[in-house]
Structure 1
Amino acid sequence: MNDDKVKHLEFIQNIITRMNTNSFQIKEWTVTIVAALLAIYASNKNIYFVLIGIFPTVVFWFLDAYYLNQERKFRGLYNDVAEVSEKPKQIKPFEMRPDLYTDGKYSYCDSFCSATIRNLYLSIIVLLGLLFLYVKYLS
């Protein structure tokens, strides 16, 4: 493998790492904001702070899906540049073309419904909803 190809792969790997870091930070922010809203609810007993927590959770879910989608596209690009794909696309040296990866596992919908993020965000939304219903109707 020539030096240009190795450098190209390093560039792509740095982008993948950055997308992964962004995704992790979004998850951190989600948990932090929801915890803060629950702390506010605990201090003033306004049940609607629990419901407000659903909005940032959904927004961060969409944003996290975007970063996961970008990460997958760059992984596809990496595999094609490294020539480890079954049918690699022709990529010019130092070309960054995530737009070539749009269907199948590279679709936004597939990223949005991915188990790695769906389970986290859906469980937060369900728990907030159950807490709201419990406090509103059973206490």
Structure 2
Amino acid sequence: MSTMPQVPDEMRMKHLELLQTTIGRLGTNSFLIKGWAMTVSGGLITVAMGSAGWAVAVIALMMTSGFWLLDTYYLEQERLFRSLYDRSVAPDSAQVPLFSMDAERYAQSVPWRRVALSRTMALFYGTLALVDIAVALALLTTS
């Protein structure tokens, strides 16, 4: 017989809904960051190719790198909260305190570098960075 007090199902469901809302919000933030990254990088590259020169293309590369780091943070947080959610729905979920939002305990299972270099992140931001570099080099050699 368990010594842990039984938690009503409706309280456990509210906890899971809270976690789902947080995961959804983090996913939305990641999506918005990708949109801003593409817009800012594309705009700066367009300006650089116009008459501004290679320095603006380098600024586009720095902006792309910054968006990559910020998106990595949000994606890492989303994965941490997914781990907390998975643990909360597990059969032995009584070990997860009710309404706990402490996802940091799963930080070792979600390494930052693996998130930053995941296939989707590397393809998206790597492509933007390569375009930025290519334009900067092309403008540098023509000036």
Counterpart selection for 1:125 from 103, 125, 129: 129
Asked which structure has the greater CA Rg, the reply is 2
Q: Which runs of 4+ in 1 moved over 6 A?
A: none
CA deviation vs aligned residue, 1:93-128 (integer Å, no higher than 9, x gap): 111111110113x12112111112121111111111
**TM, length-normalised to structure 2:** 0.86
Q: CA deviation at 1:36?
A: 1.4
- Aligned-partner SS, 1:101: helix
- Which residue of structure 1 lines up, in the alignment, with residue 86 of structure 2? 79
Counterpart selection for 2:103 from 64, 84, 98: 98
Within the alignment, does 1:44 sit opposite 2:51 as a pair?
Answer: yes
Distance across 1 between alignment mates of 2:118 and 2:108: 15
**TM, length-normalised to structure 1:** 0.88
Alpha-carbon contact 1:20-1:71 (below 8 Å) kept: yes
The amino acid across from 1:126 in the alignment is: L
Q: CA deviation at 1:63?
A: 0.7
Bigger shift: 48-57 or 36-45?
Answer: 36-45
CA RMSD of aligned residues (A): 2.0
- Residue identity over aligned pairs, in percent, reads 30
Query: Structure 2 regions of 5+ residues with no counterpart?
Result: 1-7
| Number of equivalent positions | 136
